[in-house]
A and B are shown apart, each in its own frame.
Chain A
Amino acid sequence: MNMTEYENEFSRFPTQKITKHNFKNIDDDIAPLINKINSLRTQGLLEEAASIIQENKDTLSQCIVDAITFRTWEEEIYNAQKYAKQQQQSIYFEPQEPDCIQGDVWIGGD
Chain B
Amino acid sequence: MSCNPLSYYPNKIDEMIFFQDNNLENIEIINHYNHLIAHGKYSEASDYIRRQENIYGFFADFFNLIENRIYNLQEYLLQRSPKEQPFIYYDKREYPPLDIVVFSDTDEMENLSDIRLFYSDNETDSKNLDLFHIFINDEELEKEEVEPPDINENTIWI
Contact = CB atoms under 8 A, between A and B. Distances in A.
Q: How large is the interface on B (under 10, 10 to 19, 20 to 34, 35 or more residues)?
A: 20 to 34
Interface residues of A, number: 34
B155 interface: no
Interface string B69-84: 0110111011010110
Interface string B32-48: 00000000111101100
B67 to A, nearest CB: 5
B100 to A, nearest CB: 10
Given A80-B74, A87-B82, A73 B66 contact: yes
B42 A31 contact: yes
A34 B37 CA distance: 11
Nearest to A38: B40
B64 A20 contact: yes
Contact of A89 (B40, B70, B83): B83
B59 A25 contact: yes
A17 B71 contact: yes
B27 interface: no
Contact of A34 (B42, B50, B67, B71): B42
6 contacts: A17-B71, A18-B74, A23-B67, A76-B70, A80-B73, A108-B97
Interface of B: 40-43, 45-46, 49-50, 58-60, 63-64, 66-68, 70-71, 73-75, 77-78, 80, 82-83, 85-86, 88, 90, 97, 158
